Chains A and B, each alone.
Chain A
Amino acid sequence: MDRIKLPIIICGEIVETAKDYHVFRYGNSVELTIPKINSKHINKIREQRFMLNNHNVQEIISALVKVGRFWRTETQNRIYLSAVDTLCRVKGYDSKMAIRELNIIGSTCAQIAGLYDLLDLELGNRFYIDEWLPRGDVFVHAQPMGNALNIVAGNVPVSSIMSIIRCLLTKNQAIAKFSQKDPVTLIYFAQSLNYLLPENIVTKNLSVLYWEGGDEIEQSVYDMSDVVCAWGRGSSINEIRSKIGAHTRFLEFGPKVSYALIGKESIDDMQVAIDLAHDISLYNQQACFSPQVVFVEGKTDLFVKRLEQALSLYNDLLPIGSRDIDTEFDIMRVKKMAQFEGLKIQCGDNNGWMIISIDRVERIYESPLNRVIYVMSIKSFDECLDYVSPSTQVLSISPWDRNKEIREEATLKGVSKITEIGLIESVRNGATHDDIYPMHEMVRWVCVERGKDYWGKFIEDGPLDTTKWLMQNRNQIEKISLVM
């Protein structure tokens, strides 16, 4: 048995020992042990509320940039090497996928301008977080909510980091509950902060921990949270929602499905097929933005041929890593179902990828994800709109210039994002996430009005005197009653 021990992080401090431990098992061969949290840990976190508020956001960005640079460049550091190794052992990643992920995490944090842009674009102006800005006739400021609890999903490691970056940039204390599926990313990120900047205020405002659903400590964490960001499947999100108080803001990033749309111009385009293979292969298709069905305008045969080659290429570029028994079987049973029902199937070696051609959506049995893609012919580009709904996160398209044909109706029907095939993962500056700007929701928008000596746009002669207005109006009221 391959045994791994990881710590939890409480207010930046690494906690390796506890009275009791969680034990997670991965397949038959990997066992991971994590200390259990207790009420002392919770109390320590509780005391830190609003600590970041007295600091300028440039200090927060400075710390994030340093940790981002670490993950981009310190590839021989023991923390980096251990992170790669543990990601592979726990998540079954091939080392290429693990390294790629750490690069993305590093890039997400390392770009100073990018972090400022994020604030500008999500809040409207990055100075709201530090200052009181005039807006209309008032002064507006973005106050942190306080304690931001992030319950992350674990299928896309960088999304866990994104979630805590949003908290920290909005000056909230970031409390992150990791998923059993990925205890690695957040713990190592927090460890790198502790290693690089042990006394930094950002380090001290990050806690990474775990509890089992129903644990008596759970409610105390929910009770001290001012905002909860929950990622995951529907049942998990519903359960979390039922436990948080009325005063707690709840941001949910629930389960979604995504599609790809190939216009007739792109059917014979090998680059498009390669780009689609990229989108399918990322995270072994387990992200919300991973396409599960490809709608092809016209006959599918030629495009399927291109896609077969592209998916084979991606098996080398981004190998699937190891699969557990459940994943292997999930893929196999979908294959057997498709074969029994007479569907056309193309498979890679060892079911490394699979293309199942269907003539209508009712033929879809299940999607085991893991690079299994359904391909369906449609007569016209906009026919795909029959299948989108508020559960659809991303509609990726090629050729790109045709996005205007459907963007209005697709988003009206529920699609959150339209992007070009090949770019499902890139989050451009200004992109929304599941129909919101999350950071906008992680602050309290407060204002200070102007005083009486400010006349504003509607008063000709000041200063403002509400009693005088009443007296003036009384004459008018008396006149009206005399007339009656």
Chain B
Amino acid sequence: MFTENKEREQIKKSYEEYNRLLDGVDKTKEIMQAFKYHYENNEAYKKYCKVHGVSPEIIMNKNDIRLIPLIPSDAFKRNSIVSCKSNEKMVECTSSGTKGSISTVYRDHDTLNYFIFSCLWNIKHLLTDEDFEIMCLLPQISDDNSKHLWMAYVGYMLGGFYESYYLINNNRLDVDLATSILKDACYKRKKIAIFGSPSIVVGLAQYIEQKGEKIDGKDKIFILTAGGWKNDLNAMTREQFNNSIKDAFNLNSVSQIRDSFNMVELNSIVTECEVHTKHILPYMEVNALDPANLEPYEDGQPGVLSFIDPMARSFPCFILSDDIGVVKKNYKCQCGRTSDIMIYIRRFERSEDRGCALKMNYSIKKGDE
């Protein structure tokens, strides 16, 4: 979608508009408009809102935002939730399916643009204004297909704005090529970001250490992780991760290691600053909710994380996630920025993970097929 020069120009213009929007964004207004749009254009969501007795006329001000019905993230595993006309060209973005089943989110051109803009904005405001290359520990995708693993597609989109390399081929990471690219970048004193899931970054770091390779990262290498902290990290703490990565790549500081929160159902990223606080974009409404009644908790209390992102057009991005965390509003961070922030704690534990009564799920068939 981003290969034509003319298209790149258009996107750059849209990005400039996006930046202007963020400068003085009226979050409540954006959310109210988005809610009205999806209520009117998405039959399934409209029915859902009616069950809750909520319509655009009810959402009048900032205090009413909490009434907007949230869609559980698992709904995207079983339903096609689309707010556009069926003939619009869309990309099917899928989750990785680590919990067994796969979510599919349909994104049109504008929605994808807003997602990538959120990435660019976060990079510029939280990471660096300078140009850099990205080494994606991801497969290169072909945009002939319309269905993509979301994280791989994110890497592909970033390639429209940064010189990028894609190092996974046939499900294998080309560690030799990765090492060679890093060495070359360090030698030429070019800034380079390594982008991938925490476990694959650890895998690369371990390879480099085992081989005794010397990567002189200093201030030139950034580590950008996303995709969650899965079980295969063997309960490594964040601090342990930071220190081992810093050592493996010889970074000046752990502040060069940044994690981002995203889910395929979310149309913006939530990225860390240099002190590892996850700052929320000014147009997003993120809350930690009481799971018993979905009312937002006061600052600092752990609850179920909900996300309202008004910038998604092709699907209602009013998400009740499966994650538990803490949200603080207007937080004055050590980094000097003031914004809403979130602290991710963990994925919630399903009853099937806790008990011995065999749970049924939607895939129960007749007998034990």
Contacts and interface: CB of A to CB of B under 8 A. Distances in A.
Contact of A255 (B292, B356, B361): B356
A335 to B, nearest CB: 9
B97 interface: no
B71 A340 contact: yes
A232 B356 CA distance: 5
Interface in A357-390: 361-370, 386-390
A328 to B, nearest CB: 4
Contact of B362 (A253, A326, A332, A363): A363
Nearest to A232: B356
A225 B246 CA distance: 47
Interface of B: 44, 47-48, 51-52, 70-72, 74-75, 78-79, 290-294, 302-304, 320, 322, 324, 348-362, 364-368
Contacts of A346: none
Interface string A230-244: 011110000000000
Contact of B361 (A253, A330, A364): A364
Interface of A: 28, 153, 155, 181, 231-234, 253-257, 285-288, 290, 292-293, 323, 325-330, 332-333, 336-337, 339-342, 350-351, 361-370, 386-391, 413-414
Contacts of A365: 74, 78, 361-362
Shortest 8 CB-CB distances between A and B: which pairs?
A329-B291, A255-B358, A389-B368, A328-B291, A153-B356, A326-B349, A257-B358, A336-B72
B291 A361 contact: no
24 contacts: A153-B355, A181-B355, A233-B352, A254-B356, A255-B356, A286-B355, A326-B349, A326-B350, A328-B292, A329-B291, A332-B294, A333-B74, A333-B322, A336-B75, A336-B320, A341-B75, A341-B78, A363-B362, A364-B361, A365-B74, A366-B350, A366-B352, A370-B351, A413-B367
Nearest to B346: A326
Contacts of B368: 389-391, 414
A160 B78 CA distance: 38
Given A181-B354, A365-B78, A369-B355, A330 B348 contact: yes
Contacts of A255: 355-359
A323 B354 CA distance: 13
A332 B357 contact: no
Contact of A337 (B75, B290, B294, B349): B75
Contacts of A339: 48, 51-52
Contacts of B44: 340
A234 B322 CA distance: 23
A376 to B, nearest CB: 11
Contact of A369 (B51, B351, B366): B351
A253 B350 CA distance: 21
A231 B78 contact: no
Contacts of B360: 257, 292-293, 361, 364, 366-367
Contact of A231 (B322, B356, B364): B356
A287 to B, nearest CB: 6
A58 to B, nearest CB: 34
A43 to B, nearest CB: 31
Given A341-B78, A351-B292, A389-B368, A369 B359 contact: yes
Contacts of A369: 351, 355, 357, 359
B86 to A, nearest CB: 20
Contacts of B356: 153, 155, 231-233, 253-256, 288
Contacts of B302: 28, 325
B354 A337 contact: no
Given A332-B291, A340-B75, A386 B366 contact: yes
A467 B169 CA distance: 76
Given A363-B362, A366-B362, A233 B294 contact: no
Contacts of A361: 360, 364-366
A290 B368 CA distance: 19
Nearest to B303: A325
B367 A386 contact: yes
Nearest to B74: A337
Contacts of A367: 351, 359-361
Contacts of A323: 292
B79 A341 contact: yes
Nearest to A332: B291
A253 B357 CA distance: 10
Nearest to B292: A328
A292 B352 CA distance: 13
A369 B353 CA distance: 12
Contacts of A413: 367
A325 B293 CA distance: 11
Contacts of B355: 153, 155, 181, 233, 255, 286, 369
Given A325-B324, A330-B350, A362-B364, 13 more contacts: A181-B355, A255-B355, A257-B360, A288-B357, A329-B324, A330-B348, A332-B304, A333-B72, A340-B79, A362-B365, A369-B351, A370-B351, A390-B368
**Residue among B70, B290, B368 having the largest count of chain A Cβ atoms under 10 Å:** B368
Given A285-B357, A325-B324, A362-B362, A368 B351 contact: yes
A286 B349 contact: no
A328 B352 CA distance: 14
B309 to A, nearest CB: 18
A84 B101 CA distance: 41
A155 B357 contact: yes
A208 B201 CA distance: 43
A416 B106 CA distance: 45
A28 B358 CA distance: 27
A286 B354 CA distance: 10
A163 to B, nearest CB: 13
Contact of A388 (B322, B357, B367): B367
A21 B83 CA distance: 55
A79 to B, nearest CB: 27
A343 to B, nearest CB: 10
A257 B48 contact: no
Contacts of A292: 357, 359-360
A257 B357 contact: yes
Contacts of A325: 291, 302-304, 324, 348
A329 to B, nearest CB: 4
B291 A387 contact: no
**Residue among A326, A328, A389, A391 having the largest count of chain B Cβ atoms under 10 Å:** A326
Given A285-B357, A340-B71, A369-B359, A329 B352 contact: no
Nearest to B304: A329
**Residue among B44, B355, B356, B361 having the largest count of chain A Cβ atoms under 10 Å:** B356
A66 B161 CA distance: 78
Nearest to B358: A255
A286 B362 contact: no
Contacts of A287: 357
Contacts of A341: 75, 78-79
A326 B354 contact: yes
A171 B288 CA distance: 54
B362 A288 contact: no
A155 B358 CA distance: 12
